[in-house]
Copies of this chain bind each other. A is one copy, B any other.
Amino acid sequence: MTVLARRAAAEFIGTAFLVMAVVGSGVMASRLSPDDAGLQLLQNSLATGAALVALIVALQPVSASFNPVVTLVERALGMIDNRAAAALIGGQVLGGLAGAVAANLMFGLDAVAFSTHVRTGPALWLGEVIATIGLLVVIFGTVRSGRADRVAFAVGGYITAAYWFTSSTSFANPAVTIARTVTDTFAGIAPASAPAFILAQLLGGAAGYVLVRFLYPPLATPAVVTADRKVLS
């Protein structure tokens, strides 16, 4: 119980700071660089990626998924049980909302304001599917090959890039998507646009799960995983 509470708290804190990074840097960027949307996204993406490195390094020994899709895949892989999954996802969703509120308040805005930023259409949904597949390959490829200590850098790098190379700017996270509905700022998403984004993320999660199982089969066959062509001649 105590351990699980601590893990859920870590997910709450981490997701709160992650959403603060996403939302807060978006507000700052749009205020300070009003004339160039690309510069705003650069600021937003670098702040998010840098925050992820810090938060994952700091919280990983407790719990540092910050993302219900990741937690669901951990459940599907048998890494956690149902009760843990529910607690962690609860922490993520509540933490994300708290982070959005905190960001709003830090910038002198109403605590809650629903976003009017409509994000919709097949191109963006495809972006979310691909973004989530990539995120899962990056996380579980790193973890399942026994290098969990690299996840922070891999995820920080991936998200920084995926802001740019996916048309949806890579939400790839249902908890963060929900949180971004309650801020009417740069990073916001209209509540009506959120369900399709989350559905696309879940689809990407399922596809990513299959891909991870194929690329990194269980360690029961470690010879496959550790087969490393990097033998020196």
From residue A119, how far is it (CB to closest CB) to chain B in Å? 13
> Chain B residue with minimal CB distance to A213?
B233
A38 in contact with B32 (CB, 8 Å) = yes
Q: A94 in the interface, Cβ–Cβ < 8 Å?
A: no
From residue A91, how far is it (CB to closest CB) to chain B in Å? 12
Main DSSP-derived SS at the A contact region = helix
Residues of B near A228 (CB, < 8 A) are 61, 148
Q: Which of A6, A10, A54 has the most CB of B within 10 A?
A: A54
> With A39-B39, A42-B43 known to touch, is A130 a contact of B153 (CB < 8 Å)?
no
> Chain B residue with minimal CB distance to A126?
B106
Residues of B near A156 (CB, < 8 A) are 50, 157
Which of B40, B62, B147, B226 is the one whose CB lies under 8 Å from A38?
A: B40
Which of B9, B17, B160 is the one whose CB lies under 8 Å from A50?
A: B160
Which of B21, B77, B121 is the one whose CB lies under 8 Å from A164?
A: B21
Q: A103 in the interface, Cβ–Cβ < 8 Å?
A: yes
Binary CB contact string for chain A from 5 to 40 against chain B (1 if under 8 A, 0 otherwise): 011011001000100111111001101110111111
A215 in contact with B62 (CB, 8 Å) = yes
**183-233 of chain A: CB within 8 A of chain B:** 211, 214-216, 218-219, 224-233
A167 in contact with B36 (CB, 8 Å) = no
Q: A141 in the interface, Cβ–Cβ < 8 Å?
A: yes
Residues of B near A116 (CB, < 8 A) are none
Interface positions of A (Cβ within 8 A of B): 2-3, 6-7, 9-10, 13, 17, 20-25, 28-29, 31-33, 35-55, 57-63, 74, 77-80, 84, 102-103, 105-108, 121, 123, 126-127, 130, 134, 137-139, 141-150, 152-158, 160-168, 211, 214-216, 218-219, 224-233
Could you list some 27 contacts between A and B, CB below 8 A? A2-B224, A21-B164, A21-B165, A23-B165, A28-B41, A28-B165, A28-B167, A32-B38, A39-B39, A42-B43, A42-B46, A43-B164, A47-B160, A47-B163, A50-B157, A55-B158, A59-B137, A61-B226, A62-B141, A62-B216, A63-B229, A102-B130, A106-B168, A108-B121, A148-B230, A156-B157, A218-B232
